[in-house]
Structure formats: C-alpha cells, structure tokens
Amino acid sequence: MSDRSVHAVVFAVRKAAHVTEYAILGLLVWRALRKPSRAEPHPWLWSHAGIALLFVALYATSDEIHQAFVPNRQASVWDVFFDTIGGAFGLLFLWIIGRWRKRW
C-alpha cells in the first residue's frame, strides 16, 4: 500500500470517528433534555433536537478553538462541519428509529 493510500485511509477513519463521536454526543444531549415516556403523546420535539444540535455545534467549535492553542495540533472548520453533521445524523437516526417503532 502506498504512503498516499495509507494517508487517505487514516483521514477517512479519523473523519468517521468524528462523525460517530458527535452522533453519540447529540443523542446524549437530546436524552438529557427530554426523557421519552409512553405516557406522553409526543416524546419527540423538534425544538429539543434543535437545541441538542446547537449544543453539538458549539461544543465542536470550542474543541477546535482549544486545538488552535495546543502544540502540534491545528484547528479546522471542516472538523466542526463533520462534528455537526455527526450530531445531525445521530438525531436523524433516533427520529427514524422512533418513527419505525411508532414512538412518535
């Protein structure tokens, strides 16, 4: 495998890790904001999903700002983008599962 191929694989794995980590963060923040129960007719609220996604975006931004001050690290707007997309994917996955299981 060439050096360029190894670099491409490492890059893809790192970005996939960003997406996965922040998808989980989005789910945890949503869960902290709203605990669904069978007694409530609409446990899913888009406003809670929006707040969770905003939190994910702000956390990703603060993480990149922190990296700008760490030696041998660099801040990237693209990482904030991938992190926020990860949070959105996590919330979208939750919504799809909830619709499929007829929870909301």
The model's pLDDT over 20-42, given as tens digits with 9 standing for 90+, comes to 999 999 999 999 998 766 777 67
Full DSSP string of 29-65:
HHHHH----TTSS----HHHHHHHHHHHHHHHHHHHH
Check whether 99 has a pLDDT greater than 90.
yes
Check whether 50 has a pLDDT greater than 90.
yes
The model's pTM: 0.86
* Arithmetic mean of pLDDT, 51-63: 98
| CA end-to-end distance (rounded Å), the chain | 48
Structural domain of 43: 3-100
Check whether 82 has a pLDDT greater than 90.
yes
* Residue 21 tokens, joined: 């980590």
- φ and ψ at residue 101, rounded to 5 degrees: -85, 5
Number of domains observed in the structure of the chain? 1
Could you give the angle at the alpha carbon of 54 between the alpha carbons of 46 and 17, nearest 5°?
105
* Arithmetic mean of pLDDT, 40-45: 77
